[in-house]
Amino acid sequence: MKKASVREAYGKTLVELGEKNKDIVVLDADLSGSTKTQMFAQKFPERFFNMGISEQDMMGTAAGLAAAGKIPFASTFAIFATGRAWEQIRQSIAYAGLNVKIVASHGGITVGDDGGSHQALEDVALMRILPNMTVIVPADAIEMAQIIRVITNYYGPVYVRGSRLSFPVIYENKNYSFKIGKGDVVREGDELTIIAMGLMVHHALAAASLLALEGVETRVINMSTIKPIDEGIIIESAQKTGLIVTVEEHSIVGGLGSAVCEVVSETYPVPVKRMGIKDRFGISGKPEKLLSYFKLTPQDIAQEAKKLLNNKPRLLRAAN
């Protein structure tokens, strides 16, 4: 399966947009080689600002640039962007709804070797609770490029969570266009729905293939916008399949799984199984090994799905 770097897609798209739109400015906190904003820095040095290792000042400066009409993209690792500078994002950016695009890399456990200190498992939750904030997680490099174009033309604060790892390509040669707030059905099925974000969309598709071998037809949704979440597609899935599994490379507290549960519980209650990191910190290891360790492989997802399907009658009785 072809893989492509989500980070590279960000860097390239920034350069492409920067050519046309002179209001785009880019800030980084000493990680421009990793986040790929370096590509923009080399092309447009006068519109690139390395703020040094000071994420809080970076977010504040981005807010000031936005208040003066610029379109700032601020990048660093996901944990430093959303954790270290959370209150700056709250007060200086989200509070006034300023037009700052926070595009982070290194979300999730697939950061790998660097370990728990560097693996953001809380970032989506931290951004999702902020009023005015839009939260987006691309499923592959093609979608990332589309997201960057779309958010450039959208006024308001946005958080985009990228990854260190290259992702298998899902949207090549597909007639897909990303829209803020729209989930995408990447596979149809009527017995169960898997809603995933980021790399987990690929894993969910692989899990659906495994389930199909056993005759189970699974609906798979790429929920690339976590906020505002696509309530319509969640309700439709609940009605159609009666069971939902959410999969995220993020804490099961406060992220995609929580967002789906909020919708389902208030509209059309069906059993939801949240797969992700179970309220703990990450650890060092190779990304592939960590995905197995945290039970986020396609096999793990298929197994959880089967457990849920076996319990379906009982769970549905309980829900009703």
Partner 1 sequence: MLHKAGSGHTGGSLSAVELLIALFWGKIRQDPKNPHWSERDKFVLSKGHAAPVLYAILAHLGYFPKEELFHLRELGARLQGHPDCKFTPGIEVPTGSLGQGLSMANGMAIAARLDNLSTRVYVLLGDGEVQEGQIWEAAMSAAHYKIDNLCAILDNNGLQIDGWVKDVMQIEPLAAKWKAFGWAVIEIDGHDFKQIFEALDKAEKIKERPTIIIAHTIKGKGVSFFENQAKYHGVAPNTEELEMALKELEQ
Which residues here bind partner 1, judged by CB under 8 A?
A: 25, 46-47, 49, 51-52, 54, 56-70, 72, 87-88, 90-92, 95-98
Comparing CB distances to partner 1, the nearer of 57 and 217 is: 57
Q: Is 55 a catalytic residue?
A: yes
d(CA 240, CA 279): 30
All residues at 6 or more sequence positions from 77 whose CB lies less than 8 Å from its CB, including other chains: 31, 34, 35, 104, 105, 106, 111, 118, 120
> Which stretch of DSSP H or E encloses residue 240?
helix 231-241
Which candidate in 55, 122, 143, 248 is catalytic?
A: 55
Q: In whole angstroms, how close is the CB of 289 to partner 1 at the nearest point? A: 37
Comparing CB distances to partner 1, the nearer of 90 and 161 is: 90
Q: How buried is residue 213: exposed, middle or buried, by Cβ count under 10 Å (0-12/13-18/19+)? A: exposed
**Where do the DSSP E strands lie in 36-123?**
48-50, 71-75, 101-104
Comparing CB distances to partner 1, the nearer of 96 and 283 is: 96
d(CA 93, CA 261): 28
b/e map of 87-98 (b: 16 or more CB within 10 Å)? ebbbebbbeeeb
| DSSP-derived secondary structure for 21-55 | -TTEEEEESS-HHHHSTHHHHHH-GGGEEE--S-H
What residues are annotated to the active site? Answer: 55
